[in-house]
Amino acid sequence: MTNPIGEFSDARLIEELERFCPKTAKEIEQNYFLRSINRYRRLFLALPHGGGEKSLLDIGARLYTAFIYANYLDYARVAVATKWETPYTEASLLARIPRHERISVQHFDAENTVFPYRDGEFDVVVCSELLEHLAIDPMFMLAEINRVTRPDGLLVLTTPNAASWASLRKVLEGKHPYTWSMYNGSSTDRHNREYTIDELDRLIANCGYQLVKSETFSASGQGFSLKEKVLSAWFSLPDTLRGKPGLNPSRRGETSLVVGRKVSAIQDRYPSWLYFDPRPTARPSLES
């Protein structure tokens, strides 16, 4: 079965996503969709067709993506896991969605709560634009994702690329390289740690998955700006003069997407490249 999302124009895809946004947030989300439509398209295209049989868990999702999974990708069961109860997942909105009986919503903190699902319960797990928000122990969530994914099942993950040309340009302009690091005074709902695409490749292996796809791209689909193209040429110049390929521009897009196929249990709960020492007694005190 083919994935129908490839036939949608950007305008059509935005229209479908907007159908199940809360009325109070439609203007905000419309601007967000315009900035992120290529990411949504690539995410949906990275998913296998559900065939009316497969199950999918999306961590940090909203009901407008669940609508796509259940109706256009034909997943028989769609679980939406989110930390907070918000208008984006309220029961009255869910009741309006075609095939809403296929969709369920669970609220829990994925970074420190055992997922309320059985071992190997899902064929596909999606973790889109969430990893960068985790503040304490990201591997807890990834270990739980491994547990609830069936053998040979898929993990599809997107997150901002910390090594993009856009981030490098910000550094050279004296700005912060993260795409969203603002404090709100009440929670850690900001980007606490952004990852390079090479780090994601390592992370997938640490989590017991075989890498199927690894790519970066512009979230909006507009490609590199003129400044970013100049940066690419400049930093590649030494290699170019020596007849070498230079930096790979395909790894410098602002958004990363990786797909992994589960081949084993988690391989490294505390990767040394990500944790300095997970033991509580090893953490520095405020007085040190």
Computed over its alpha carbons, how large is the radius of gyration of the chain?
A: 20
Domain boundaries, the chain: 4-267
In percent, the amount of the chain with pLDDT more than 90 equals 73
Q: What single-letter DSSP state applies at residue 18?
A: H
pLDDT(136) > 60: yes
Kindly state the helix (H) or strand (E) to which residue 125 belongs, with its residue range.
strand 122-128
pLDDT(284) > 60: no
Look up tokens 């930093």; give the residue: 235
Q: Residue 143 has what pLDDT?
A: 97
Residue 93 tokens read as 């909105």
Closest by CA to 9, choosing from 52, 38, 43, is 38
Contacts made by residues 230-233, CB under 8 angstroms, sequence distance 24+: 231/165, 231/168, 231/169, 231/172, 232/165
The highest-level CATH class for domain 4-267 is: alpha beta
Q: What's the pTM value of the predicted model, to 2 decimals?
A: 0.91
- CA 17, CA 33: separation in Å to the nearest integer? 8
